[in-house]
Each structure stands twice: as structure tokens, then as C-alpha cells.
Structure 1
């Protein structure tokens, strides 16, 4: 009898190899919600510099506010220094005294009043400047500040120029008019008035910067 041994081979299918592979999520899908959240929150950009052109106008309004705070100091200091400039000089005895006061010179009186008005205006203009930061597209507020700043430039420049002429004569005198320099005797009076004139001219420069800044802001809004 002949017998044949036949080997039976059983093929087992690897079902795991046929399982469909899970597709990895695209890299952009995971970052999309983060980008949307950054756009809503401003992307970490400061409040003043957001929204392109609008943020630039808001930044200019913030600089405008800082300049107004800076200009307040010189104008107030000039008004106080001039208003308190008083010096008495005794000659030989107490019965012969010479006194120098700011109200002896109309130019100094005008100078003190003009700087006091400019200091008060700067305080009143701060809320309008803050409105420019909150609403950078408010053209009416910018235009109002531009007109008022221009008036302040003219007023303070005229007052500082008139006071500077008196200070020059007080320091140098005038030979043709036979005016002697009084600063040789009234040192304190001349120092206070001279410092007030310098402070006032610094305020004029700041006012000019405010006018240019407001003009540029209005131009960019058009």
C-alpha cells in the first residue's frame, strides 16, 4: 500500500495589516483655532498699536497726550516765576529803596497772563486728547485741538517775545536811550524773569509739535 503524506498549509490572513491607517490631522487644522483666538485678542500686540492705520492714529493721539502733559510744566512754571518776581534794593539807608516787580512792566504782565491761560488750556484739553485715543477716527476733536493749539502758539510766542525784549534790555541796557542794565543790581528779579522766558519758549516748541501732530493725524484720516 502506498500512502502519500500531503501537508496541508493553512494561510492565516493578517487582518491588522489590512486595517486602514488613521490619517494624521493636517498641521494647519490644529493651529487654526489658536490663530483665530490670537486675532480676537489682538495677537499680543499692545492696544495702541492694533488695527494697522487705526492703531497708528491711536499712537499719535497718545503722543499728543504726553506732549500736553509735558507742555503744562513750562507754562505753569513761567507764570508762577513771573508772578512771584519781586525784589527790593536798599540804597544808603532804608528810606531810599528801589523795588522791581513784574507789574511794573506791562510786557511781563501780559507774559504772565498768557502763560497762565496756556496752562489752563492744556489741562482742559486733556479729556479731548483722551477721546482721540479711544476714538481715533474722530476728526472733529482733532480739528478743534488743531485750531486751539494754533491760537496758543500765537499767544505764547507773542508774550515770550515781548518779555524777552524786556529781559534783554534789563541785562544789556541801551546806550542810545541812556538805559542802564538793572540786572547789575536786581539779580534775583532778572534770574526769575529770564528763566521764565526760557521755559515759555520751550512751551512754544511743544505747541508747534502739537500743531504738526494734529495736522498729520487729520491728513491720514482722509
Structure 2
């Protein structure tokens, strides 16, 4: 068998297999098998996981922006309404509502976690077959998703009451007077739910990547 061709021309390495001589009859001789291995070729599974890792990193940056914006808007929401004179005013601030305080803390914690998770996401891109980092992200992403969902849902209930009130309990709609406070807290809740959506996608991606291992 001629192996004089160099692998430099094709980029392949040919691994020769010794040809087994048959008996005198020539019957039942096994075929000659030549195995060729390409250098630098990425396995399909590794390429797919690396693509998932890149998407994961981009989504984490988007989730950081969403939760940071939600926490910042809620933390800076404040409005005063003058009543007769400037010395007697009605004030609405996020810290007047424990639910909004919990909302601010929940989104801030999630944002901090997502920043700390960026190096692990990069590891999943560089070494796509590492299971430990992906499993760690899946667990903490699920916890962050639960925290952000609970904070956003609780704040959404208060925002609904502020916009519509509750006639059965004689709760007035505060947004009829506080026309600056309510749009800001509503925007913060929308940003938090956007973070929830991105975290849900991150959990699904991590689960899919682990399933392919």
C-alpha cells in the first residue's frame, strides 16, 4: 500500500492499517481499512455548545441591563404633591411600600449575581464540555429566576391597585394624583419582567446544553 503522499497537501493524517494476507485460497480475506483524522476540526457537539455559550453570555448582559434599570428606576422614584401650601404636601416614595423595597432588593441581588456569573459563562464558551460550570449556572439561574419573579409579581399587584384602586375596600386609585410616580414604577416592573423572561431562556439553554452531554 502506497503511503508516499504527504499529509501536508490535504491537511489529513493517514493512519495505515496493516493488510492481512489471506490464505492460499484467497477466500475470507479482510478488507484493508485506512483511517483519516482531520486536525483542527471541531466536533459538531462542541460547536453547538460553544454557540449556546455565546448566546448565554449575550443574554446575561441583557439581563444585567434589565434588572439594573428596574432597580435604579424604582430606587429613584419619588413625587411630592402640594396641598394648599408648599409646607403641607403629600409624598409618595418607593420606600413607603415594603413591596417596592423588596422589589428593589430582589432586582439588585439578581443583577449582582448575573455580573458574577459572567466568568462562568465565558468558561462554558472556551471549554464547552465542562459540566460543572454549566450545572452551577443552571442552579443559580433558577434561584435568581424565582427571586426576580416573586419581586416583580408582588410589585405588579401594588401597581395594579395604584392604577385602578379597589372600590370594595374603598382604596382610591393613587395614580390619578401621582401622575409621575406611577409611570416610573410601572416601567420598573416591566423591566423586571423582561429580566424574568431572559432568565427563563437562560435556564432552558443550560438544561438543553446539559442534555446534550
Question: How does the TM-score come out when normalised to structure 2?
Answer: 0.83
RMSD value over aligned CA atoms? 1.6
Greater strand content:
2
Distance in 1 (alpha carbons) for counterparts of 2:88 and 2:46? 67
> d(CA) in 2 for partners of 1:33 and 1:55?
25
Q: Measure, in 1, the Cα distance between the counterparts of 2:131 and 2:91.
A: 52
Instruction: Note if 1:162 corresponds to 2:150.
Output: no
Structure 1: distance between partners of 2:50 and 2:110? 25
Report the equivalent of 1:70: 62
CA distance in 2, matches of 1:107, 1:153: 18
1:140-179 equivalent positions in 2, closer than 5 A = 140-179=132-171
Summarize deviations over 1:112-143 as a string: whole Å, max 9, x none: 00000111111000000000011111101111
Q: Give 1:69 shift.
A: 0.6
Match of 1:95 in 2: 87
Considering fraction of residues, name the structure with more helix.
1
| Cα distance in structure 2, aligned partners of 1:201 and 1:41 | 43
Matches within 5 A, 1:41-80: 42=41, 50-80=42-72
Alignment correspondent of 1:20:
none
Cα offset for 1:209? 0.4
The alignment covers a number of residue pairs equal to 185
Query: In structure 2, the residue corresponding to 1:99 is in which secondary structure?
Result: strand
Cα offset, 1:188, TM superposition: 1.1
One of 19, 23, 33 as aligned partner of 2:8: 33
- Aligned pair in 2 of structure 1 residues 88, 36: CA closer, same or farther (>3 Å)? same
In structure 1, distance between residues paired with 2:9 and 2:174: 74
